A and B are shown apart, each in its own frame.
Chain A
Amino acid sequence: MMERILFALLLVGATVLFSRNILRITRNIKLGKDVDRTDRKGERWALMTRVALGQSKMVVRPVAGILHMIVYAGFVIINIEVLEILIDGLFGTHRVLSFMGGLYDFLIGSFEWLALGVWVACAIFLVRRNIIKVKRLVMKELDGWPKTDANLILVTEIALMTAFLLMNGADQLLAWRGEGHYVTAGAFPVSDAIAIALDNWSTASLITLERAAWWFHIIGILAFLNYLVVSKHLHILLAFPNVWYSKLAPKTEMTNMPRITGEVRSMLDPSVQPPVPVARTVAGMEMTERFGAKDVFDLSWKSLMDAYSCTECGRCTSECPANLTGKLLSPRKIMMDTRDRLEEVGKVIDAKGKWEDDGKSLHSRVSEEELWACTTCNACTQACPVNIDPVEIILEMRRYLVMEESKTRPALTTMFNNVENNGAAWAFGPDRRMEWAEEMNR
């Protein structure tokens, strides 16, 4: 009975904590500006099915892609087993679903193979990060917490799978010995081997092992659930909505700024009234509309969801022409900086009940040198397995630099002047626009 009460308390506690964190993350995402991404729903569902559920962009890199597929399938499918664990834990039953007979055997059997697959895949991932040192997995923006975070996730998954298989092995052996409620249930293709290895253990030790592994597994899962919300591992939840809300417009189409259209129209035609800047209240502070992005508030909520969805795989950075040629820009770092700044802002709001300027901004983390290195080629958005868009953030930050701070590169100022004075990016006047036609007859 005590066990069941303890289990119920743990379950409730973990759920409450998790829900609070999800609400916090939702609130933070909503600090962003409004953007409508609910059009073309059919296309969005199809995209989510293909890209998030079907992992279509993951397998572009087959090694990481297939290993990830195993871990992903393991995660989704083994959760069916967690359902049984929850029922058993709450009602004191043991393998409550085993009445399903052949189907149960099949399910448990496939969980076991998947568990082994996850174990092996995570081990290979650890090797790739720590021994082979795959370049995109050891770049400097991952120093410190991001590196620890990645390793912690992999080690935890290995530990969970170990506990799962040990639990099954001990359980199986106890059933063979005909102990108490341990029923012969399920096929244990992997843990049979463990059962055989444990054969010289006493029954009491086996029961202890089985219980310990059972508790470790379920506590581990509940702890992991709450770890997600402070980790890059949040992608396992956000990948789905993030892909659903993808930009469906052509990749190189930039978002329009209607307020500037209004300003320009009124400049061109004095009878047109200039638009009035719209203020909005965000986290208890009134903010007037800015040109471009100074801080996370000036980005769209989708950019902020992008930031939380990033699992720091670095495929974007490994395809970025600027990064490949030694420039400071790393699209992954742009996403990490956005998320870290958003978390920082969120903590201020948590502490003070509303937003108070902390004298910092997104530009405190992202330098001009990074922003001016982007060629807007969209290799990063193409590479991202969950359709994150770093280019949008870069371009919004450039807009702020140029229009609010008059910070640009000298050669770009020259280009601006040329466009303004000659209607061409170079210093040639309109009178020379047809010279080529004369050349054709020379």
Chain B
Amino acid sequence: MSEPINIPTMAGFAAKGEVPEVLFWLGCMGAFDDRARKITKAFVRILNAAKVKFAVLGQEESCTGDPARRAGNEFLFQMQALQNVTTLNGYGVKRIVTACPHCFNTLKNEYPALGGSYEVLHHTQFINTLIKEGRIKIEGGSFAGKRITFHDPCYLGRGNGEYEAPREVLLKLDAALVEMKRSKQNGLCCGAGGAQMFKEAEPGNKEVNIERSEEALAASPDIIAAGCPFCNTMLTDGVKHFNKEGEVVVKDVAELIAEAGDL
């Protein structure tokens, strides 16, 4: 690597008396999970390539409280939320981008009632804007002609009505975008939402991620594109379950764009 990548923090900006264009909210998975860190890094490469003046909170970021709230622990959610709102408002944050639809939903929809109102974007929306504004140039290259199917994250799609941004981005790869049987409004959950990620599934006859992965594989894709670190993990496991990991890869939209742009 030629020159070291330096990740700017909000504290760093504040010390210089400057404000970044956008705060990149990583989410716990994006910071800690080995797989999701790759998404974080890919998105940072995109931000750098587009010369976006961004910052992260670093050690000051804390769980949005989403899983606690969905699991019924409103106290814990509000502890987290109020603490985060204090941090965000302290830095005068106006605009946030995140690669996690759960953080996205909480920051965008649930923090306003607690005194935190920000413009919140999902990273696929942000990337889409960067492409439209010509700040990054994407050519299909290695993806041309590949079959890609996009799995709608519930918290981005049904939850917040965003179905098109990730698809518009994927279309830039000159790939064939194929839809699963259930997609967009009718998309099937990966099984991780509502705090399920953190617990064993209740008794049943099948895991939800197996059901969804089966459906994704039925679309005969080369790539299953995800827009959520939870979905990514669930689908990766599902593809392994069917011993298809050699043929089908599960990648985040940001990873595909970073690869296509050789960023």
| B194 within 8 Å of A (CB atoms) | yes
Looking at the assembled complex, report how far the CB atom of A255 sits from the nearest CB atom of chain B, in whole angstroms: 9
Task: Kindly identify which residue among B4, B28, B76, B159 contacts A420, using a CB–CB cutoff of 8 Å.
Answer: B76
Q: A292-B72, A375-B192 are in contact. Are A424 and B41 (CB under 8 A)?
A: no
Q: How far is the CA of A327 from the CA of B196 in the complex (A)?
A: 13
Q: Is the CB of B204 within 8 A of A253?
A: no
| A316 within 8 Å of B (CB atoms) | no
Candidate in A261, A415, A425 with the most chain B CB atoms within 10 angstroms:
A425
8 Å CB interface, B139-180 against A: 154-155, 158-161
Q: Is the CB of B59 within 8 A of A402?
A: no
8 Å CB interface, B55-77 against A: 56, 58-63, 65, 67-76
Residue on B with the closest CB to A255?
Answer: B113
| A328 within 8 Å of B (CB atoms) | yes
| B131 within 8 Å of A (CB atoms) | no
| A206 within 8 Å of B (CB atoms) | no
Q: How far is the CA of A261 from the CA of B69 in the complex (A)?
A: 13
Q: How far is the CA of A426 from the CA of B206 in the complex (A)?
A: 26
Candidate in A325, A419, A420 with the most chain B CB atoms within 10 angstroms:
A419
Q: Is the CB of A423 within 8 A of B63?
A: yes
Q: Is the CB of A428 within 8 A of B32?
A: yes
| B121 within 8 Å of A (CB atoms) | no
Contacts of A344 in B (CB 8 A): none
Q: How far is the CA of A319 from the CA of B212 in the complex (A)?
A: 12
Q: Mark A185-223, 1 if CB is under 8 A from B, else 0.
A: 000000000000000000000000000000000000000
Task: Kindly identify which residue among B33, B63, B108, B114 contacts A419, using a CB–CB cutoff of 8 Å.
Answer: B63
Which of these binds chain B: A103-111, A132-140, A244-252?
Answer: A244-252
Contacts of B155 in A (CB 8 A): 252
Q: Is the CB of A440 within 8 A of B196?
A: no
| B15 within 8 Å of A (CB atoms) | no
Q: Is the CB of B211 within 8 A of A260?
A: no
Candidate in A257, A324, A437 with the most chain B CB atoms within 10 angstroms:
A437
Task: Kindly identify which residue among A264, A372, A379, A431 contacts B82, using a CB–CB cutoff of 8 Å.
Answer: A264
Contacts of B235 in A (CB 8 A): none
Q: A326-B205, A375-B191, A419-B63 are in contact. Are A433 and B72 (CB under 8 A)?
A: no
Q: Is the CB of A419 within 8 A of B59?
A: no
Q: Mark A369-382, 1 if CB is under 8 A from B, else 0.
A: 10011111111011
| A432 within 8 Å of B (CB atoms) | yes
Q: How far is the CA of A319 from the CA of B186 in the complex (A)?
A: 8
Task: Kindly identify which residue among B82, B191, B192, B208 contacts A268, using a CB–CB cutoff of 8 Å.
Answer: B82
Q: How far is the CA of A375 from the CA of B4 in the complex (A)?
A: 41
Q: A252-B155, A424-B62 are in contact. Are A325 and B205 (CB under 8 A)?
A: yes
Q: A268-B82, A325-B207, A395-B70 are in contact. Are A439 and B41 (CB under 8 A)?
A: yes
Task: Kindly identify which residue among B31, B33, B71, B203 contacts A369, using a CB–CB cutoff of 8 Å.
Answer: B203
| B105 within 8 Å of A (CB atoms) | yes
Q: How far is the CA of A409 from the CA of B201 in the complex (A)?
A: 10
Q: How far is the CA of A386 from the CA of B161 in the complex (A)?
A: 19
| A15 within 8 Å of B (CB atoms) | no
Q: How far is the CA of A333 from the CA of B62 in the complex (A)?
A: 37
| A113 within 8 Å of B (CB atoms) | no
Q: Is the CB of A327 within 8 A of B203?
A: yes
| B44 within 8 Å of A (CB atoms) | yes
Q: How far is the CA of A263 from the CA of B71 in the complex (A)?
A: 19
Contacts of B133 in A (CB 8 A): none
Q: A327-B204, A440-B41 are in contact. Are A379 and B59 (CB under 8 A)?
A: no
Q: Is the CB of A322 within 8 A of B198?
A: no
Q: Is the CB of B158 within 8 A of A325?
A: no
Contacts of A265 in B (CB 8 A): 82
Q: Is the CB of B158 within 8 A of A378?
A: yes
Q: Is the CB of A260 within 8 A of B198?
A: no
Task: Kindly identify which residue among A257, A400, A424 contacts B28, using a CB–CB cutoff of 8 Å.
Answer: A424
| A441 within 8 Å of B (CB atoms) | yes
Q: How far is the CA of A252 from the CA of B109 in the complex (A)?
A: 8
Q: A252-B160, A292-B72 are in contact. Are A321 and B32 (CB under 8 A)?
A: no
Q: Mark A395-438, 1 if CB is under 8 A from B, else 0.
A: 10011111100001101101110011001111010111111110
| B46 within 8 Å of A (CB atoms) | no
Task: Kindly identify which residue among B74, B83, B185 contacts A260, using a CB–CB cutoff of 8 Å.
Answer: B74
Contacts of A327 in B (CB 8 A): 201-204
Looking at the assembled complex, report how far the CB atom of A406 sits from the nearest CB atom of chain B, in whole angstroms: 10
Residue on B with the closest CB to A415?
Answer: B198
Candidate in B80, B114, B185, B189 with the most chain A CB atoms within 10 angstroms:
B189
Contacts of B105 in A (CB 8 A): 250, 252-253
Looking at the assembled complex, report how far the CB atom of B230 sits from the nearest CB atom of chain A, in whole angstroms: 10
Contacts of A402 in B (CB 8 A): 71-73
Q: How far is the CA of A360 from the CA of B153 in the complex (A)?
A: 38
Contacts of B205 in A (CB 8 A): 325-326
Q: Is the CB of A419 within 8 A of B80?
A: yes
Q: Is the CB of A321 within 8 A of B191?
A: yes
Contacts of A432 in B (CB 8 A): 31-32
| B14 within 8 Å of A (CB atoms) | no
Q: Is the CB of A419 within 8 A of B68?
A: yes
| B193 within 8 Å of A (CB atoms) | yes
Residue on B with the closest CB to A412?
Answer: B71
Contacts of B204 in A (CB 8 A): 322, 325-327, 373
Q: Is the CB of B110 within 8 A of A408?
A: no
Q: How far is the CA of A415 from the CA of B197 in the complex (A)?
A: 10
Candidate in A251, A321, A395, A414 with the most chain B CB atoms within 10 angstroms:
A321
Q: Is the CB of A379 within 8 A of B72?
A: no
Candidate in B4, B83, B154, B202 with the most chain A CB atoms within 10 angstroms:
B202
Q: How far is the CA of A414 from the CA of B199 in the complex (A)?
A: 9
Q: Is the CB of A431 within 8 A of B59?
A: yes
16 A-B residue pairs with CB within 8 Å: A260-B78, A264-B78, A326-B203, A327-B203, A401-B72, A403-B75, A412-B198, A412-B199, A415-B199, A416-B76, A423-B62, A426-B28, A430-B60, A430-B62, A432-B32, A440-B44
8 tightest A-B CB contacts, nearest first:
A252-B159, A376-B194, A326-B205, A402-B72, A423-B62, A398-B72, A377-B189, A326-B204
